[in-house]
Amino acid sequence: MAPGTRLGPYEIVMPIGAGGMGEVYRATDPRMGRDVAIKISAERFSDRFSREVHAVAALNHPNICTLYDVGPNYLIMELIEGPTLRDRIKQGAIPLEEALAIAAKIADALEAAHEKGIVHRDLKPGNIKIKPDGTVKVLDFGLAKTTDAQVAASPEVSPTISMAAATQAGIILGTAAYMSPEQARGKAVDKRADIWAFGVVLYEMLTAKRLFQGEDLTEILASVVKDKPDLSVVPAQVRRLLEKCLQKDPRERLRDIGDVALLLEHAPETAPSQGALRARLGIAGRSVAALFVVGLGPVAFLHFREKPPAPALPLRFQIQAPENAALGPYLSLAPDGRKLAFLVRGRLWVHFLESGDSRDLTAADGSPFWSPDSLFIGYPSQGKLKKIAATGGTPQTVADFSDSWEAGAWSQDSVIVFGTFPHGFFRVPDSGGIPVAITAIDPARQEAFHYCPSFLPDGRHFIYTSQSTDGRKDSIYIGSVDLKPEQQSFKPLVASHWGPVYAPSADPSTGYLLFMREGTLMAQAFDNPRLELKGQAVPVAEQVGDNNGGAGGYGAFSASANDVLVFWPSGASDRQLTWYDREGKVLGTIGDSGDYQDLALSPDGTRAVVRKKSGAASNLWMLDMSQGATARFTFDSAAVSDPVWSPDGNRIVFSSNRDGPYNLYQKPVSGVKDEEILLKSSEAKYATSWSRDGSLLLYTVVSPKTKHDIWVLPLEGDKKPVPFQITEFEEVAAHFSPDGHWVTYTSNESGHSEVYVRSFSMNSAGTAVEPGGKWQISNGGTDPAWRGDGRELYYRSPDGSLMAVEIGTNPTFRAGKPQPLGTLLRSLGRSLPWDFTSDGRRFLAPAGRRGSEPYTVVLNWQAGLKK
């Protein structure tokens, strides 16, 4: 937000801080003539959050950062100059009298808060400021809530693990080194957690050392839970006080912060006089205020050690999306567990778990993967396999490829394996070179894709998924970088539609195969020497997302080499079909919320056919726009997809793999009879467009030799399929223009997906005439469709935005400059279905929380397995 910008009555002066969910600015309040700090959240506050903030803002205390005002998505608070107590401690141990004077003010603020039922939960030196005049101010950059609230977790201010907005019991909140044992165990807390933290802070003031230390977060929390504090280094006068503050069992701990003075009054004779103690620890104030700051901050991992963590203590927290962005399924955790690479709107980002920073690195077209030393990220971009340092810099090209990206993996032997459709996997040195094929798609085995490789510990073998044209045969296999395609073994490890991940364990002979089974992330022990599974698969996490709406593909999960796991919740059930106008304004909703994957409006706009998934099957449902009623249209035990309406609205063509490959079927909308086969062959095929005169159907064929091609099916005469666009590139999503003279489609012939238009005609013999003119419409785009009058094209840009292009055809074809549609239509995502009325005035798409879910990080996840 630029200086001079106004937010309500407040004028921005300059930025003073930032976090993943909000930014902090210095601002002026012209009404009161004072400077303030203003925290702006990326999202509007919930009603519950606002009520809690208002309750806290009503409090007032000289040792508390005051909250002045609350807006719909911002907080106005006291601007406090000066260093933090953490800065002061860095200069060395604080003398006893000075430390006790500071402690008195902290205790004063805490007692006032506790009397109002408010627990700080995140007291630490970084949350305490000392103004130039010596005034002590307690701040809260985590979250202060009333004591009856439950606790949940997401990363906050370094090195805090604290809550964003949701509430959930049993998850860690607070800063590791200052957490009470009950916090470390994820239990509910009360004011005694603050008393524990007070003791830890006082110890640190007196010694300039952390009381609980460790090489990583797990060790620190283990020390908090198990280790008895060594208080021999603190002055004798405060040992009894610290002993009572630092009891592991909260029932044996000092119950009220107001009792601090009493303990010091009965300290040894070397202590200051009772009058001095009362002056230093006079608990005078009886009120407190807590500063709410909503933001994505860092998690202090300090150092992840390579030896097994102890004791076993699974911990969870969350990573929010960068501002004004939505997370997605393409994510990869570095082997050291300290960095997370992910894609947002066609850009490669990296999140540093230690500092909490998220950094935009470069443009990318597909899923990223890490070097074994966690220093570089591999990724695809415009037909090239590239690598870039995790800290940023100039990307380096490793190899060229011309096909659809199917993920990659990087071995300890400096070999990269990556997949492309339809050629299987290639290997290439990470220094660059010519890719060498190591697997191949086998049509005889009904294979369609090889994707998502993950290296095993020997660096020579890798696991991957083979997707079949018959989805019932999708399985995970083991491949080798040392073999030729014809030498690879095809013994399946386990059936799965999603890509796998190998995760090491503390035992070098055993690891875990992580894979998905109908939305549940599973783990099964893997015998490294024998290269085989053992034992039974056990669930790790429920409702894990993917890139294909539950139909298989990239599973939204990743694991490190040191027992860290990250996954993205699916959140699909929250989607609601929503009407928008061209400006992105919501016009209303229709039907029930659900997992909508395909969507097609009838020509007259009165009905819609949608696809919903149920287990391994998916079926079509008919939605009546006037009544909002939904009725099942197909009753398949396999997968049904890609519905296309006939121009008269009486029939629907769709694909189903009930007999192996996806074949074309048609069924009357009235339901008076069952569907009948329209086109059957050994190759998968999907209808995309029906000509307005009803005589022709455009469809996509998946060919092992020429990838995705465009064909025409005549619906009259001999009904013999006719090729329209068959090249070495990917041609998909073809649509007839309303007058039937043009076809728009998507191709990757330029190295990445673009929208094109070609002329179209059929001769008297029913053969497609060689296409004439050809025009590129987009600068990156997919899923094109014509407006009902043919004068406008719509398509989806790489970041998920909907674009509109004016089209003219008289006397020659011409296309205008692409223009984005309304703001809300720019956040539909890269995979959500959408459609529009024939006049182009209303757009229908599922809307909801898909993409707003944060990533979930689990430390020491293997300790939670039920073995």
- Residues 159-214: tens digit of each pLDDT: 344 333 323 333 444 578 898 998 888 787 889 999 999 999 999 999 999 998 87
Categorize the per-residue pLDDT at 473 as very low, low, confident or very high, splitting at 50, 70 and 90: confident
Query: Residue range 534-559: average pLDDT?
Result: 85
Q: What is the structure's pLDDT at 164? A: 34
Share of the chain above pLDDT 90, in %: 40
3-state secondary structure 151-200: CCCEECCCCEEECCCCCCCCCCCEEHHHCCHHHHCCCCCCHHHHHHHHHH
The domain defined by 644-667+676-847 folds into: Neuraminidase (2.120.10)
Categorize the per-residue pLDDT at 489 as very low, low, confident or very high, splitting at 50, 70 and 90: confident
Residue 122 in 3-state DSSP?
Answer: coil
Q: What is the structure's pLDDT at 766? A: 64
Q: What is the structure's pLDDT at 204? A: 95
Q: What is the structure's pLDDT at 472? A: 73
Query: Residue range 279-284: average pLDDT?
Result: 32
Categorize the per-residue pLDDT at 434 as very low, low, confident or very high, splitting at 50, 70 and 90: very high
Range of weakest confidence among 134-148, 373-387, 598-612, 672-686: 134-148
- What is the distance between the alpha carbons of residues 628 and 864, in angstroms, rounded to a whole number? 44
Tell me whether residue 194 is one of the annotated catalytic residues: no
- What is the distance between the alpha carbons of residues 742 and 765, in angstroms, rounded to a whole number? 19
Burial class (CB in 10 A: 0-12, 13-18, 19+), 235: middle
- The identity of residue 702, as a single letter, is V
Q: Are 182 and 171 in contact (CB under 8 A)?
A: no
- What is the distance between the alpha carbons of residues 633 and 808, in angstroms, rounded to a whole number? 38
- Asked whether residue 605 carries a pLDDT value surpassing 60, the answer given is yes
Q: What is the structure's pLDDT at 614? A: 64
Domain boundaries, the chain: 6-280, 332-543+551-572+853-864, 644-667+676-847
- What is the distance between the alpha carbons of residues 315 and 864, in angstroms, rounded to a whole number? 10
- Asked whether residue 826 carries a pLDDT value surpassing 80, the answer given is no
Q: What is the structure's pLDDT at 865? A: 85
Q: What is the structure's pLDDT at 57? A: 62
- What is the distance between the alpha carbons of residues 843 and 858, in angstroms, rounded to a whole number? 39
- Position with higher pLDDT, 38 vs 524: 524
pTM: 0.53
CA 814, 818, 824, 829: dihedral to nearest 10 degrees? Answer: 100
Supply the CATH classification number for the domain 332-543+551-572+853-864. 2.120.10.30
| Each residue's pLDDT tens digit, 57-93 | 656 788 888 877 777 778 888 888 888 899 899 989 9
- Position with higher pLDDT, 246 vs 592: 246
Q: Interior CA angle at 658 toward 653 and 661, to 5°?
A: 80
- Asked whether residue 311 carries a pLDDT value surpassing 80, the answer given is no
CA 425, 429, 434, 440: dihedral to nearest 10 degrees? Answer: -10
- Asked whether residue 848 carries a pLDDT value surpassing 60, the answer given is no
Residue 675 in 3-state DSSP?
Answer: coil
Tell how far CA 776 is from the center of its chain: 33
Query: Residue range 265-290: average pLDDT?
Result: 34
- Asked whether residue 301 carries a pLDDT value surpassing 50, the answer given is no
Average pLDDT, the chain: 81
CB atoms within 10 A of CB 775: 15
Q: Are 77 and 58 in contact (CB under 8 A)?
A: no
Q: What is the structure's pLDDT at 141? A: 43
Catalytic residue (one of 108, 122, 216, 365)? 122
φ, ψ (nearest 5 deg) of residue 445: -100, 10
Q: What is the structure's pLDDT at 573? A: 52
Q: Interior CA angle at 186 toward 287 and 302, to 5°?
A: 95
Q: What is the structure's pLDDT at 222? A: 82
Categorize the per-residue pLDDT at 721 as very low, low, confident or very high, splitting at 50, 70 and 90: very high
Categorize the per-residue pLDDT at 823 as very low, low, confident or very high, splitting at 50, 70 and 90: low
- Asked whether residue 292 carries a pLDDT value surpassing 50, the answer given is no
Domains 332-543+551-572+853-864 and 644-667+676-847 share a fold: yes
Whose tokens are 């398509």? That residue is 795
Share of the chain above pLDDT 70, in %: 82
Categorize the per-residue pLDDT at 627 as very low, low, confident or very high, splitting at 50, 70 and 90: confident
Residue 633 structure tokens: 């249209």
- Asked whether residue 505 carries a pLDDT value surpassing 90, the answer given is yes
Q: Which CATH number fits domain 6-280: 1.10.510.10, 3.50.50.60, 3.40.50.720, 3.30.1360.120?
A: 1.10.510.10
- Position with higher pLDDT, 168 vs 838: 838
- Asked whether residue 858 carries a pLDDT value surpassing 70, the answer given is yes
Categorize the per-residue pLDDT at 758 as very low, low, confident or very high, splitting at 50, 70 and 90: very high
Whose tokens are 């085995």? That residue is 445
